[in-house]
Structure 1
Amino acid sequence: MYQVKDDEKIFIYTGPDGSGRKTLAKMVATVFDMETVISYTTRSRRHYEVDGKDYHFVSEEAFQTMHQQNEFLESVDIDGFHYGIREKDIIDTFKDHKLVYLALNPEGADKLKHMYGENVIRIFIYADRDTVIKRQQERQDDAAAIRRHIKHYDETMNYLNVCEHAFENYDLPQVSYQISELVESYLNRDYIESEY
């Protein structure tokens, strides 16, 4: 297993589907030299997703081959779909960046926390049930997918108190700013806040 160095950090965004965790993660990453590691999944691509940018969409056979070759650092099965993070992708990302971010479900976040301890900072992003349903409808998720996500809502919300930090996503720019300040607090550098 890759040994994360002291100055390397993995920020994991987790929370209910539709909470805006990926959007916030991307916004915060633009402020820092922070790169993402993209998961592999066997589920179908949603109409607004891009292969290689949102996920690596692969067949069940391809996923199982990678799994058998021990390529995955962690993998989970959710509602019959597989998700996994390749260890090689984390190693390659750390060659050029000290900060890495991932958007994971609680199970994946938990696995990486146990592997890398204090170098992993879990940021729980949430919104109330009605808001996440509305957001999923606005991005035109189909009704079956929304029902599947909402089935996990309460269980996912229970993970909030396990994470190091939690933010209610009520306003993207405001919450993005708050998370940026949080990330800054983890960096070993002199930082002077200016009033100007």
Structure 2
Amino acid sequence: MATTTGIDDGVANRVAAITSGNSDLMKLARTQGIQAANRRGLGNSSMAVQAGQTAVLNAATPIASQDAQTAAAWQTNQANIAADQQKTTAALAADQQKTMASALTDLTSQRFNALSNTLNNAEIPAATRAAVQSSINDQYKQGLDYLQSLYGVQFVPTASATPTPATTGLGANLAGIY
């Protein structure tokens, strides 16, 4: 029977293919069958022709059977290779996602730690604090751009992850960081 790989792994089809040719093996088998019939005194009878055909089939069947087994083993091997490739691809994708998530978490953590440090230092003048926070945010955006480019993704915050900036107090200092 023909498969999706184009390989015919059916013994009957292989026997037909082998016996249809006029190969030296088939000529030899046919001759030996007819000679055996002649030794039995069958001469040019239909039994001699049948003996020749039987000899051809007897020669072709083991070959076809081995070919079919080889084709089936090859197909099984190809299926196993494909399954292994899918597992490897899935494992690599999972590892890449873990690495990407870790890098994003680290980048975000560094940003919030740096912002927190500037907010907790009362000795930093407001204008300097704003400039430092702007620089921290710019570095964060550059880091995000790099990660997005590296992994071929787009980080989009969800609506619940984006805080509504306050107009006064601590929230006013954080306005524009997202």
TM-score range, shorter chain: under 0.3
Report the TM-score, using the length of structure 2 for normalisation: 0.21
User: Of the two, which has the highest radius of gyration?
Assistant: 2
Richer in helix (by share):
2
Larger RCO (CA under 8 A, 6+ residues apart):
1
